[in-house]
Structures are given as structure tokens and as C-alpha cells.
Structure 1
Amino acid sequence: MKTVPTLYEWAGDIQTFETLFETFYDKVLRDDLLGSLFKNMSPDHVRHVAHFVAEVFGGPTLYTEQDQGSHAKMIGEHIGKMLTEEKRQRWLQLLLQTADELGLKSDPEFRSALVGYLEWGTRLAVINSQLTENPMVESEPMPRWGWGETGGPYIPN
């Protein structure tokens, strides 16, 4: 019986995610709408985001172990940023454009899972960016994303 690969395995390896986000954030910094929002990001931001998404997609735990991150810390990065729907959509558009340009897997199943996660995650970022305090406790587990699981508040019976 074949085992189903994780989204991380299907996409490639850690270099796939690091290249995707390096190329993407180069675009973000030059973007009229997003550039000013990210101009003062830490030198580690791009690597942390690549490691976070890779881990969420079933890859190595580089974000939680090497980067000393957590889901609560990632949520905390968005607190008070007052992100808008327009910025969310532009961020998503640039990331998907970058994925296409780099030849990231484009089969419908993978892209559906990728877009599903990005829609979920960016919408959470906008919601949390309107807050003044992080609603998440440090012990909250990292999200795990697969080929079609529900990621939000829905819990099946």
C-alpha cells in the first residue's frame, strides 16, 4: 500500500520553500502596496516564514526547533499590524505568482491545498492584526495542513 506524501514532500524539500519565500519577499519589498509594510522586517523573517510553512505542510520542525518559533509566536507577529483585505489579497497574489514562476507543483490537488492554507492563514493574519494582544497561548500546537483537512474552528462529530 502506498503512503500518501505530505504536502512538503510533494512540493520538494526545504530548499523549495526557502527559494519560494526568498523570491517572493524580493517582490514584496518592491511592491507599491506591501513594500512599506515589510521594509523593516528582520533579516530572519524570510527564513522563518519558509520554515513555518514547510513545517505546517509536514516538513521538518525547523521553525519550532531551530528558529525557536511556535504558532503563538507567528500569530504574535501580526498583532497590531492593522492589515487590510487589499494587502492580504496582494500578498496572496504575489505568492501564487511566484510559485508559478518558480515552477512549484501545479497539479490541482496540491494547488487546492496550497491555496486553501494560504487563504486560511492570511485571513487569520488579518483578524489577528486588528487585535492588541495575542489571543493564543504558547502551548497551542502548530497547525498541520494536508490534502483537504479543515483547519479552522469546525470540528466534525
Structure 2
Amino acid sequence: MGETPTLYEWAGGTDAFVRLTEAFYARVTKDELLGPLFTRMDPEHARYVAIWLAEVFGGPPAYTEEHGGYPHMVAKHIGMAITEPQRRRWVNLIQDAADEAGLPDDPEFRAAFLGYIEWGTRLAHQNSQPGADVFTEAPVPHWGWGVAPPYQG
């Protein structure tokens, strides 16, 4: 039995996160609740989010090196006033996109994946509220398996 792979490796690397975000943003732009938040979305937005997620889940630090890391990401959410229904829809649509993109469907991976998605969307929701006291300087989070790493018999 070898070393436990990162979530990034288990998912299939950057290509898997690119497939995920392409499937996700295809859904988002058509969604009546989320679509308005993304009307002026940069054409490269899905790729930027893919490299963010890749870095979070243990991949290369491309988001930090190319886009400024956590301070840049958090700045994108300030003042957006994301509602709880919008946050929840985001969570649901990314899970559907994970299925469509062929991300691993084992319970251990999906629990870790959803753990980050819940944490990240709740932080984005909180930081997006008018007058929020936002902590803007932090490293990109590095998400791991938590309590249930994959069983490799």
C-alpha cells in the first residue's frame, strides 16, 4: 500500500477540475437564481476556478502564482450580497457538475469534496454581505481527506 493520494490526484488532476467547472458554469449561466451573478463573467472564469480548486485539493499552486491567491479570490466576492438560496443552489449545481464531469463518486472523495464546497460557499456568502468584516490575507486553503481517506486494499 502506497502513500495516500491527494484529492487532486484522486480526482484526476487539473483536467478533471476543468471538466467540472466547464460543466458547472454551463449550468450556472442558464440558472435563474445564479445566472444574474455571472452576467459579466470573464470568458476564462471557469478555468480560473478550475485552477483554484486544483490548488485547494492538493495540485500545483497555479492560482496563487498566476492570480494572486486567496486575497484575489476573496476580493471577487466582496459586496456581491450572495443570498443563502444562491449559495445553496451553487452547492447543488456543482455536485451535479461533478457527476457529469466524471469526478470520483466514492463516498470518501465526495465527502471531502462537499466539505470544502460547503465551507467555501459559506465563507463566500459571509464575505459578500454589505459591511462584512472580511479577512483578506490568508493562504489558499489546502483541503484533505479529513476523517475518511480512501481505502486502498
Judge same fold: TM > 0.5, yes or no.
yes
Question: Distance between the aligned counterparts of 1:119 and 1:70, measured in 2?
Answer: 20
What one-letter code is carried by the residue in structure 2 that aligns with 1:87?
Answer: Q
Give the secondary-structure state (helix, strand or coil) at the position aligned to 2:29.
helix
Question: Distance between the aligned counterparts of 2:3 and 2:130, measured in 1?
Answer: 41
Give the secondary-structure state (helix, strand or coil) at the position aligned to 1:90.
helix
Partner of 2:74: 75
Higher RCO (CA < 8 A, seq sep 6+): 2
Partner of 1:152: none
Structure-2 change in CA distance of 1:124 and 1:10 (3 Å): same
TM-score (norm 1): 0.88
Give the Å deviation of 1:15.
Answer: 0.9
Does residue 101 (structure 1) correspond to residue 108 (structure 2)? The answer is: no
The answer (yes or no) to whether the contact 1:76–1:134 under 8 Å persists in 2 is no
Structure-2 change in CA distance of 1:123 and 1:137 (3 Å): closer
Question: Distance between the aligned counterparts of 1:141 and 1:46, measured in 2?
Answer: 21
Question: Distance between the aligned counterparts of 1:134 and 1:79, measured in 2?
Answer: 10
The answer (yes or no) to whether the contact 2:74–2:136 under 8 Å persists in 1 is no
Give the Å deviation of 1:134.
Answer: 6.9
Question: Distance between the aligned counterparts of 1:135 and 1:32, measured in 2?
Answer: 28
Give the Å deviation of 1:137.
Answer: 4.0
Aligned-pair identity in percent equals 53
Q: Which runs of 5+ in 2 are unaligned?
A: 148-153
Give the secondary-structure state (helix, strand or coil) at the position aligned to 2:16.
helix
TM-score (norm 2): 0.90
Give CA-to-partner distance per residue, 1:4-61, whole Å, 9 cap, x none. 1000000001111011101110110011111111011122221111101100100011
What one-letter code is carried by the residue in structure 2 that aligns with 1:129?
Answer: S
What one-letter code is carried by the residue in structure 1 that aligns with 2:14?
Answer: I
Q: Which runs of 5+ in 1 are unaligned?
A: 150-157
Give the Å deviation of 1:132.
Answer: 4.4
- Alpha-carbon RMSD across the aligned residues, in angstroms, is 1.5
What one-letter code is carried by the residue in structure 2 that aligns with 1:15?
Answer: D
